[in-house]
Amino acid sequence: MRRRRELTPALGLGVGLAVVLTLTTGPSAASASDSADGGADASVDETFRPGWELKYRELFDEEDLDIDMDEIPWKLDNYENVYDTISDDDGDAYWGEMGMGFGQAIRSFRTWEKTKEIGEDNWITVALTGRQQDLTSGKNQPERPGVFHVIRQPETGNIVAELRSDDPTAGAMIRNTRPMPAEYRMEYTVTRYEMGGERYDPETGEWSMWTEHPGFEYGDDGEYSIAPGTPRWNGFTVTDALGRENCKNQYPWPDSQTNAYTVPQCGRGNWNPLNYGGAGYNGLHALTVTDVQNPMPRNLHFWHYHRKVLMDQFATDPDRNNNGAVCNSETGTLTRMQETHRNGVNPWVSGRMNGFNSAGGYYEVGRMAGQSQRFFSDCNNSVPDPDHPGRMIYEDTTTNAPRAMAQSDPRFFPYIPYTFAVERSELGYTLEWSGMFQDVGWHTYRYYRPFILNNNPVWRYNAYPGDHYDGRYNGYARSTTNQFNPDGTRQGNSTKRTWPDMWHANSAYPDFVMMGIEYTNSTEGWLQFDDVRMYEPADNRPAVSILGKGRVDNWHGQQPQLDIEVINLEETVPNVDITVTTDYGTQTFTNVRPDAHPNARFKVNGPIPDGVATVTATKGDQTHTIEVPYEGIDSLQLTTEVSGKCYADRARMDYKVTNTDDVAAEDVTVTTPQGTRTFPSIAPGATVNVSIGTRSDTVPEGTFTVAATAGGDPVEYPFTKDVEYQYTAAPFACDD
């Protein structure tokens, strides 16, 4: 049980918020008897996942602090090793649309890259890129490249890895080194990401798009460094590495056709600006499954044509016209994204290329190749799962703007992490995202998507030849824009550029899973992460497959709360009944469908010691029991007393609060039905009394609340205690 700990505010996260947080165990499950009466085993394996066996795990430690990417020389990307000829960095689509203007643009800089394999059997590859924008410097390296390093997190003291891009031209990601197997689970834990969206200032109590950069050194002599305190808007600093304003844009791969090749890179409104205006946005691509082999960071349009499934955060500029919405899974309601703090998170799948003409057998490619984006949320409709009769799943929805699953809550960085996971089975993908979400609290979301649902496929899902694919979505791609001739003149409207076989029957696209910053012309910021895991299929499913997670927190800012979340990992019906038993009561959930995740919440007056919850799941005549441990907190110790008396014909109440702790109680607030009183401090052993009239001749039943924080060392929580008072005299009347 954790009593007190010192916390250091960083990046605008003040102690006033930090002290209400606690770090507890992550996902926990235990093997148990599969008999009808259950019977949990005492041993707990926190890496256990029903149906999966851990193959690799990368936990960054002291030795990893010595990883030095600077020892690896930068290699010039000369665009010879292309992934495709359409939308790769030197792709035909850009030459066809912009002609010699694109040639001038792409020759105005150099792109550099480097990789490093890490972990057991070198199973992870770090991939970094950067752009050299000053070709007169004589330096064969980028000014502000992508960064990977292992650091000791200042707020927690934990060792974590960091991927960083302090310019939208830099990419930084990790991925699997070898193709993923036909079935797998990949997951990792992110403790902080700063890739746009509003941030909360505990001193003002307000949210803002403005934040401050902590500072970072770039260049051999620090000549391209960013000073601590440099302002950031939606995650972007104002100037680039060369000190230029109005240069953070999509150059030279613009998102919309604006004849951008006729204007310089830097200039107000040029090349679809990212850090302001109608095209402005930032975001984190936390986990992407791609059809590209051995991928490296690339331009935005390239990835819009090469993703299978994705989990991202999308942070739009306030001036961007965004019709997207955010789902509240507790209420089932949608809120316009413009009315939120712009921390919407999106799990989604990529459908087939846009513009499919089934009669002609081709895809119409407007400016660039792209796929339909199909979003998941609990606000979507439920539809039958074609792979598992009787099972219902959430249908993915295609819209002209994202429909976010929820809003992440950066107020809890880096103390409460997010876990991202993707599973590939024989029949489909499952996306999983767990952590703390605004308006919802601590939660896990899971969405299963068959490879084909209602004739909508996951793009290039076939990882190996014959992998449930018969070529039905193949076709050639045909450009709809007027193309440039080599001499710089425009071709006529009847001339169309074509590319054959977008998805032929004998194709195969093994999965590569990318985590980090994959764009090289769109996003800026950094993420800190740990505990990267890869699982392979295993025959270890218990009679009823469930997973339990335990956490103690007070995310709502009131009294301590114990959360026991249970995830139904069964893939078939009948649905499951779940019972959660703790020292603070029992809660039961019936008819829990696959991938659902009920959360048993127990509010507690006072401390919550370390403990274990018992979870029993029943499916038909099968029962399985697990034990879920949790780490408690020792909150401030206060006792309360209520009494009443009559003065003439009016009742008067006395509310007493005694500090039985060994530290002072500060900022004490006593809230009663008759009013509120505050006290700067209550010394150890001291008592305060709130005597207050009711203006009534009777005393109704009711509650009063005491809220306080501990003096001296900070504790995990402000203390809140709800006390019910009731009088045996019936009624308590002063005129009797």
38 has pLDDT over 50: no
Q: What is the CATH number of the domain that holds 716?
A: 2.60.40.10
Q: Is residue 271 part of a domain?
A: yes
Task: Name the residue with tokens 């003439």.
Answer: 648
13 DSSP 8-state letter? B
Among 603, 630, 657, give the residue marking a domain's end: 630
The SS3 of residue 63 is helix
CB 434 within 8 A of CB 418: yes
- Amino acid, single-letter form, for residue 245: E
Looking at the domain assignment, is residue 145 inside a domain?
Answer: no
Q: Which two tokens stand for residue 706?
A: 């005491």
Query: Do 662 and 555 fall within a single domain?
Result: no
Give the residues across from 624 on adjacent strands: 617
The C-alpha atoms of residue 670 and residue 692 are separated, in whole angstroms, by 11
* Distance from the Cα of residue 512 to its chain's centroid: 20
Query: 60 lies in a domain?
Result: no
- Average of per-residue pLDDT across 85-102: 84
**pLDDT for residue 12:** 27
Q: Are 636 and 719 a contacting pair, CB within 8 Å?
A: yes
Q: Do 335 and 188 belong together in one domain? A: yes
pLDDT digits (tens, 9 = 90+) for 186-217: 999 999 999 999 999 978 889 999 999 999 99
Task: Kindly report whether the peptide bond that precedes residue 414 is cis, defined as omega within 30 degrees of 0.
Answer: yes
Q: Check residue 203 and give its pLDDT.
A: 80
Q: What is the pLDDT of residue 482?
A: 67
Q: What per-residue confidence (pLDDT) applies to 75? A: 97
CATH number of the domain to which 566 belongs? 2.60.40
Task: Compute the distance between CA of residue 26 and CA of residue 44 in angstroms, rounded to an integer.
Answer: 12
CA distance 617 to 546: 7
The residue type found at 291 is D
Question: Mean of the pLDDT values across residues 272-281?
Answer: 92
Largest CA distance in the chain: 105
Residues present in the chain in total: 736
- Same-domain status, 305 and 380: yes
Residue 398 falls inside a structural domain:
yes
How does 368-400 read in b/e, with b if 16+ C-beta sit within 10 Å?
A: bbbbbbbbbbbbbeeeebebbeebbbbbbbeee
For residue 69, being part of any structural domain is answered with: no
- Looking at the fold, whether 415 and 529 belong to one and the same domain comes out as yes
Q: Residue 736: its pLDDT value, please?
A: 54
Name the residue type at position 182.
A
Q: What tokens appear for 79 in the block?
A: 């665009």
Query: What does the alpha-carbon distance between residue 447 and residue 379 come to, in Å, rounded to a whole number?
Result: 12
Q: How far is CA 601 from CA 442, 609, 626, in A?
A: 10, 16, 18
Query: 15 — alpha (psi -120 to 50), left (phi > 0) or beta?
Result: alpha
Whole-number Å distance between alpha carbons of 669 and 232: 37
Is 239:247 a contact under the CB 8 Å cutoff? yes
Residues 486, 435, single domain; the answer is yes
Which range among 9-13, 321-325, 438-442 has the greatest average pLDDT? 438-442
Phi, psi (deg, nearest 5) at residue 13: -95, 110
The answer to whether 666 and 659 have CB atoms below 8 angstroms apart is: no
What backbone phi and psi angles, to 5 degrees, belong to 267? Answer: 160, 150
The residues near 665 (Cβ < 8 Å, ≥ 6 apart) are: 636, 638, 659, 681, 682, 708, 709, 710, 711, 719
Residue 615 sits in which domain range?
15-50+541-630
Element (H, E) at 549: strand 546-553
SS3 of residue 453 by DSSP = strand
What does the angle CA 413 – CA 418 – CA 421 come to, to the nearest 5 degrees? 160
What's this model's pTM, rounded to 2 decimal places?
A: 0.86
Q: How far apart are CA 99 and CA 483, in angstroms?
A: 8
Structure tokens at 400: 């002209």
**pLDDT on residue 332:** 92
What's the domain count of the chain? 3
- Of 512, 534, 556, which residue constitutes the final position of a domain? 534
Tell me which DSSP letter residue 108 carries.
Answer: T
Helix (H, G, I), strand (E, B) or coil at 424: strand
**% pLDDT > 70, the chain:** 85
Euclidean distance between CA atoms 577 and 597, whole angstroms:
12
- For residues 178-198, b (16+ Cβ closer than 10 Å) or e, as one string? eebbebbbbbbbbbbbbbbbb
Place of tokens 């001038």: 104
- Whether 397 shows a pLDDT value over 50: the answer reads yes
Q: Is residue 229 in a domain?
A: yes
pLDDT score recorded for residue 32: 40
Which strands sit side by side in the sheet containing 333-336, from one edge to the other? 333-336, 325-328, 403-404
Question: Which residue, among 7, 149, 58, 17, has the nearest Cα to 527 in the 3D structure?
Answer: 149
Q: Which one is predicted more confidently, 460 or 717?
A: 460
CA separation, residue 168 to residues 288, 526, 578 (Å) = 18, 11, 47
**pLDDT of 172 above 70:** yes
Task: Give the number of other Cβ atoms within 10 Å of residue 292's Cβ.
Answer: 22
Q: Is 141 domain-assigned?
A: no
**479 and 602 in a common domain:** no
Higher pLDDT, 730 or 441: 441
Phi, psi of 7 (to 5 degrees): -125, 140
Are 715 and 623 within one domain?
Answer: no
User: Are 651 and 667 in the same domain?
Assistant: yes
Count Cβ atoms below 10 Å from residue 684 Cβ, excluding itself: 14
Q: Which of 516, 534, 552 is the last residue of a domain?
A: 534
Is the pLDDT at 238 greater than 60? The verdict is: yes
Assess whether 392 and 441 both reside in one domain: yes
Alpha-carbon distances, residue 16 vs 204, 556, 616, 710, 714 (angstroms): 11, 14, 38, 12, 9
353 located within any domain: yes
Q: Which residues are bridge partners to 112 per DSSP?
A: 76, 130
What is the rounded CA–CA span in Å between residue 699 and residue 696?
7
Kind of pairing between the strands at 650-659 and 638-647: antiparallel
Residues 221 and 302 in one domain: yes
Report which of 686, 685, 701, 721 is spatially closest to residue 644, judged by C-alpha positions.
701
d(CA 295, CA 308): 14
- 175, 184, 158, 182: which is closest to 49 by C-alpha? 184
Q: Checking DSSP bridges between strand 344-353 and strand 307-316, what pairing results, if any?
A: antiparallel
> Which strand ranges, in their side-by-side order, compose the sheet holding 622-630?
585-592, 576-582, 611-619, 622-630
Any idea which of 97-111, 171-185, 230-244, 547-561 has the lowest mean pLDDT? 547-561
Asked if 342 contacts 207 with a C-beta cutoff of 8 angstroms, the reply is no
How would residue 723 be classed by pLDDT, with cut points 50, 70 and 90? low
Strands 476-479 and 110-118: unpaired
Please check whether residues 491 and 578 belong to one and the same domain: no
Q: Which residues pair with 537 in a beta bridge?
A: 52
Q: Let me know whether 649 and 549 are in one domain.
A: no
- Banded model confidence at residue 11, pLDDT cuts 50, 70, 90: very low
Exposure of 170 in the CB half-sphere (CA atoms within 13 A): 26
Percent of residues, the chain, with pLDDT higher than 90: 61
Q: Average pLDDT over the chain, rounded to whole?
A: 85
